[in-house]
Structure 1
Amino acid sequence: MNKPIRKAVLPVAGLGTRFLPATKAVPKEMLTIVDRPIIQYVVDEARAAGIEHIVFVTGRNKHVIEDHFDMAYELEDTLRARNKAAALELLEKHRPQPGSTSFTRQQAPLGLGHAIWCSRDIIGDEPFAILLPDVIIKSKVSCLRQMVDLYEKTGGNIIAVEEVPDDQTHQYGIVELAEQINDKSSRISNMVEKPAPGTAPSNLMITGRYILQPEIFDLLSSQGQGAGGEIQLTDSMISLMSNQSFSSLKFEGRSYDCGNKPGFLSANIAFGMDDPALAQELVPFMQEMLQHPVAAE
């Protein structure tokens, strides 16, 4: 029987330089998509998958993330005194239970692999999920829930993948597939980080959602520097692939890379359209902008 997936790691130590000056004092993970910070969408996805404990790997000036998932006594007392029951209920709905979150520091920007390694003592000897907080996924069923469902059948390691145009594969980590498991999943035989144009083994990019076995930590502890002079998670996953199975999942849904401005703006529009009242105002505005674009002075 496969050990359950109880814990998830969210690496949130990045500097967010693509969004300067907005991220000079505000972490990029706290930028809002409609009415919630990006990080809230990712935490909600994890909780919808049954995750019991979330480990945030943070850096300097990220304390506001910890504050966001804590009680706000003054605000909540004010809402209570003013009988703002709906607003108070909303805050309580998104607040994790006591003891269900941990925060650990990545003291130097040594790469994603190093950030994951920093969570090793909290994760311990059990399989765990990784959710990259730059990516939010719009789906009827939580992407991670879909992955957990597959894991419960196959075990091993699971990577969420998504199709990209062939002329864009050089921008992403791409998987190479072996035998098919079902119409949405196949065994993975290799992974290539940003393959040269025309050399990608498939058009399936790694989306930023993983379920990994704890043996990855031993590999990360001795992993040398890879691309960009950083400790790359992909390098250790390739090493782990030599003795453990890796499976892909073409999840139902769509991802938005909020680590860049087009993805961030697209996510705001996509999630904003879910609110009928907002959609009623957004649609005419977007139609007007397309017909009569206003150039910035």
Structure 2
Amino acid sequence: MPKVKKAIIPAAGLGTRFLPATKTVPKEMLTIVDAPIILYVVEEAVQAGIEDIVLIAGRYKYAIEDFFDTSYELEDKLQKDGKEKLLERVVKIRDKANIISIRQKHALGLGHAVHCGLPIIGKEPFAVLLGDEITMGFHGQPNVTSQLVQSFEETGTSTISVMKVSDKDVSKYGVAEVEDTQKGYFRVTSLTEKPKPTETTSRWALPGRYVFDNHIMDILQNAKPSLNGEIQLTDSMKVLCKEKGLNAMTFTAERYDAGDKLGYLQANIELALQNPELGPELKSYIQQLARKLN
């Protein structure tokens, strides 16, 4: 079974903060504690053994490309700002992975963005990590992409991550209909993009981590727009589960939707608590705040 050594990271929507003049900060470049969201995502891929990382970028996304590029100006600024640890993290990524950027010329949906990575992916299996979702394996836990890569390399079947959500959150996600097969694994029978709670009995949502057999690229090649006039990845996954099979698995790592306002705040708080410099003082503050709120 071929190893999973490539990944696609589609960039998400624009952020709400602005740089001088008219340059807009991509959502993926917003900071979580002391590093941009995209760095956490790329680090997850590298920790899973990925060597070639394809960033699918649209308009205003050049800040992401510049961040991972070798740049005297960026490195000098980070050093002058006292951000040596962040610089070390970026340099470490450069040493371990090839960061490749492809422009998505038209915003035609996640399925289209994934298919844009075909020139680099070729005929190989690959991972997909959404650029505004962070997963962290604390205390020795593997991250989600690592778990998916291991599952694919053991079974030879495309594998996606799933998580249980409440009724009110069903319409925010793609949702998988599954059947139990063995402990830790499900067989996917169908998928629906952002259904109403009454349109599915499943509450297994897709939090943005996938590992695919290359057959998904053949399906995406002929995919047609559906919801919101976009090429939905879930539509092609639905075909994939019928033609070659698709597994789903839960995960033990922590997951943060950093593209959501509340999720962004939660990620900052929880990752700051894990930071040895900030954690103790922040924990004390939260405890004091909790007493005021009671």
TM-score past 0.5 threshold: yes
Letter in 2 for 1:265: L
Q: In the alignment, which residue of structure 2 is the partner of 1:282? A: 282
Asked if 1:112 is matched to 2:113, the reply is: no
> CA shift at 1:291, angstroms?
4.8
Q: In the alignment, which residue of structure 1 is the partner of 2:264? A: 264
- The answer for unaligned runs of 5 or more in structure 2 is none
Asked if 1:177 is matched to 2:178, the reply is: yes
- The C-alpha deviation readout for 1:38-83, integer Å capped at 9, x for no partner, is 00111000001100100011112211111111223245468899xx
* Runs of 4 or more above 3 Å deviation: 21-24, 74-81, 84-91, 287-293
Secondary structure of the residue that 1:256 maps to in structure 2? strand
Separation of aligned partners in 1, 2:115 and 2:32: 29
Separation of aligned partners in 1, 2:157 and 2:171: 27
- The C-alpha deviation readout for 1:222-271, integer Å capped at 9, x for no partner, is 21111111111111111122211100010111211111110000000111
> CA shift at 1:279, angstroms?
1.9
C-alpha change, 1:110 and 1:278, in structure 2 (3 Å) is same
Identity of aligned residues (%): 41
- The C-alpha deviation readout for 1:11-34, integer Å capped at 9, x for no partner, is 11x332xx4244862111010111
Q: In the alignment, which residue of structure 2 is the partner of 1:252? A: 252
Letter in 2 for 1:244: K
> CA shift at 1:171, angstroms?
2.5
> CA shift at 1:288, angstroms?
4.0
C-alpha change, 1:217 and 1:86, in structure 2 (3 Å) is closer
Separation of aligned partners in 2, 1:80 and 1:251: 37
- The answer for unaligned runs of 5 or more in structure 1 is none
Separation of aligned partners in 2, 1:162 and 1:87: 31
Q: In the alignment, which residue of structure 2 is the partner of 1:229? A: 229
Q: In the alignment, which residue of structure 2 is the partner of 1:56? A: 55
Q: In the alignment, which residue of structure 1 is the partner of 2:151? A: 150
Separation of aligned partners in 1, 2:242 and 2:190: 10
Give the count of matched residue pairs.
286
Separation of aligned partners in 1, 2:165 and 2:270: 19
- The C-alpha deviation readout for 1:113-169, integer Å capped at 9, x for no partner, is 111111111110111110001110121212111111111221121000111124432
* Cα contact 1:157–1:212 (8 A) shared by 2: yes
Secondary structure of the residue that 1:126 maps to in structure 2? coil
Q: TM-score, normalised by structure 1?
A: 0.88
* Cα contact 2:9–2:55 (8 A) shared by 1: yes
1:194-213 → structure 2 map (5 Å cutoff): 194-213=194-213
Secondary structure of the residue that 2:2 maps to in structure 1? coil
C-alpha change, 1:206 and 1:15, in structure 2 (3 Å) is closer
C-alpha change, 1:280 and 1:78, in structure 2 (3 Å) is closer
Letter in 2 for 1:101: I
* Cα contact 1:175–1:201 (8 A) shared by 2: no
Separation of aligned partners in 2, 1:22 and 1:79: 19
Secondary structure of the residue that 1:264 maps to in structure 2? helix
Secondary structure of the residue that 2:238 maps to in structure 1? helix
- The C-alpha deviation readout for 1:94-125, integer Å capped at 9, x for no partner, is 33457x12111111111111111111111101
Separation of aligned partners in 1, 2:207 and 2:107: 21
The correspondence for 2:128, drawn from 90, 110, 130, is: 130
Separation of aligned partners in 2, 1:159 and 1:104: 24
C-alpha change, 1:280 and 1:86, in structure 2 (3 Å) is closer
Q: TM-score, normalised by structure 2?
A: 0.88
C-alpha change, 1:121 and 1:170, in structure 2 (3 Å) is same
For the aligned residue pairs, the C-alpha RMSD in angstroms reads: 2.5
C-alpha change, 1:190 and 1:40, in structure 2 (3 Å) is same
C-alpha change, 1:102 and 1:79, in structure 2 (3 Å) is closer
C-alpha change, 1:266 and 1:229, in structure 2 (3 Å) is same
